[in-house]
Amino acid sequence: MPMSQHRPALAAILVAFVAVLSLSAAKLASAGSPSPITNPIAVTALKYEGTYQGECWMFMKKVVFEATGQEVGFDYRQGYFDAGATEVSAADAQQGDIIQVANDADTAPDASYDGLHTAIILRNNGDGTFDVVDSNRDFDGIVHERDNYDPTSHVTAANGLSYHIYRITGTPAPMPQAIPPASFAVGDHAVTNTPGDVLNLRPSAGFTGKLGTLPDRTLVTVLSAPIAQGGYHWVQVSTPVGNGWVASEFLLEQSVPTAAAAPSSPSGGAKVGPVRTYRSFTAGVSSGD
């Protein structure tokens, strides 16, 4: 039976409809299959997902060193340039770049205020949002992957904050940076070991809270045995600014000389004053653990 004059048109419509459905399905499949993670910084960061890594800034520094061999400095802006970073726009940002939210008027190593945050980009969504991986976003010290992070919305809600995006490249380090645990006993003396930085004094073992900061080479006295917490060994110490807890990995044992015995008087009658001891402190610069 010959095809009616309407059937060719109907067949063409059906073919076009099937083509549109196929194209839509392909687009949906593409949208549901995000680009694979291949950048060394992003890959390294995801390796720690779900684990405790503490503060976002220290986590980022660890990841960058492990992935590229570059060591980020101690300032929340200059520190990136110390590692050879270049600044990129949000439109040009890509996998492995780092978003730093901070107050440009206060980026010193000991800066501490609401909204200060660091995140590593997994994907640029092209609409001003990013899929990222970061640590301590929920103040729990845990590394999480987060979708649709909007730094612009984040900074406009907090007075004085802005954000920059940095790109760091380099050769992977031969091995992850590792700090051997230190062993201290009650009564031991030590000095802080944070060249160019300071050590945070905590109210308890761990990364929560801050009582103050101790410059490099500050003399402390150990008041407790080490407690393992968050990958570090914490000890309670007596310091010039009060008692608190620090990570013992950032302490060096220090012997404190005792006062020399006073020489005896030849005549036995003259009194000799005690020998005075003193302590010397070297000023530091920034924020440790």
Query: Hey, where are the domains in the chain?
Result: 40-167, 189-253
pLDDT digits (tens, 9 = 90+) for 65-120: 989 989 898 899 999 999 999 999 999 999 999 999 999 999 998 888 889 999 99
Closest CA to 220 of 184, 259, 174: 184
Angle between helices 40-47 and 56-68 (to 10 degrees): 130
In the chain, what percentage of residues exceed pLDDT 70? 72
Please identify which residue in the block is written with the tokens 């039976």.
Answer: 1
Count of beta carbons in the 10 Å neighbourhood of residue 110: 17
Write out the CATH class of domain 189-253.
mainly beta
Say how far residue 175 (Cα) sits from the centre of its chain. 18
Closest CA to 58 of 258, 223, 173, 206: 206
CATH entry 3.90.1720.10 includes domain 40-167: yes
pLDDT level of residue 127 (50, 70, 90 thresholds): very high
The DSSP element (H or E) to which 31 belongs, if any, is helix 7-31
| Torsion region of 194: left, alpha or beta (phi above 0 gives left; psi -120 to 50 gives alpha) | beta
Residue 229 sits at the vertex; the CA angle it makes with 226 and 230, to the nearest 5 degrees, is 140
pLDDT level of residue 34 (50, 70, 90 thresholds): low
How much is the pTM?
0.54
Q: Identical fold at 40-167 and 189-253?
A: no
pLDDT digits (tens, 9 = 90+) for 196-219: 778 889 999 887 788 999 999 999
Q: How far is CA 180 from CA 12, 227, 253, in A?
A: 73, 15, 14
